[in-house]
């Protein structure tokens, strides 16, 4: 190449200063800067879960916005199969946040739960019907993605509003202060007077 196309050649010191690959100066950061620089969210996915997306979506409003321990309690207390599945994915997202990103487990909050249809919308299975006929069963699958977020104060939002939390109800025993045994209702059914015998 000719020097006329590139212009005058620089000396080596000028090239070293202009090089984009030169080492950047080390800047000391405080703890606040380190908190702002690291990622604040982590997620976990469940793919092709053997449950319909409609049933799994019913769990999302139950736990969104709760802290991770409160969300696990909410899932344990619910009789739904979808809550057991969501609890496994929440636990995986919590482990990812702690192990991969060094987040504090007491500051984790459920940011969002996204549920979508599985890889195939549904699998077809034969449904045996009466009179020698057959129908078609649809076995649905679902994908679920749980995102947890690290916040400074898990009990309040950034603008000061109080976060949603679960209420722990203490069992105080019978309402009667004398601790008398309340008689059980009769186990037999009393016929109304209008029923003919």
Cα 14 to its chain centre, rounded Å, is: 53
Distances (CA, A) of 138 to 95, 129, 135: 34, 15, 10
Q: How confident is the model at residue 84 (pLDDT cuts 50, 70, 90)?
A: very high
- As given in the structure block, the two tokens for residue 5 are 């196309």
Which tens digits make up the pLDDT trace of 137-180? 988 999 999 999 999 888 887 777 788 777 766 655 555 555 55
Global pTM? 0.65
Beta strands (DSSP E) in 80-150 are 108-128, 134-150
Which tens digits make up the pLDDT trace of 98-149? 999 999 999 999 999 999 998 877 788 999 999 999 999 988 999 999 999 9
């Amino acid at each position: 190449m000719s020097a006329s196309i590139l212009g005058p050649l620089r000396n080596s010191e000028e090239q070293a200063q202009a090089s984009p690959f030169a080492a950047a100066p080390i800047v000391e950061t405080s703890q606040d800067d380190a908190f702002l620089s690291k990622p604040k969210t982590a997620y976990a996915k469940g793919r092709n879960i053997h449950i319909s997306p409609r049933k799994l979506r019913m769990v999302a409003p139950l736990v969104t916005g709760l802290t991770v321990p409160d969300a696990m309690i909410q899932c344990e207390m619910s009789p739904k199969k979808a809550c057991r599945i969501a609890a496994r994915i929440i636990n995986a997202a919590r482990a990812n946040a702690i192990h991969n990103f060094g987040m504090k487990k007491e500051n984790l909050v459920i940011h969002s739960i996204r549920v979508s249809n599985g890889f195939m919308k549904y699998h077809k299975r034969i449904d045996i019907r009466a009179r020698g006929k057959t129908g078609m069963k649809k076995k649905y699958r679902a994908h679920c993605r749980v995102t947890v977020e690290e916040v400074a104060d898990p009990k309040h939002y950034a603008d000061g509003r109080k976060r949603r939390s679960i209420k722990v109800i203490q069992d105080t025993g019978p309402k009667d202060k004398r601790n008398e045994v309340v008689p059980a209702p009769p186990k037999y059914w009393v016929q109304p007077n209008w029923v003919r015998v």
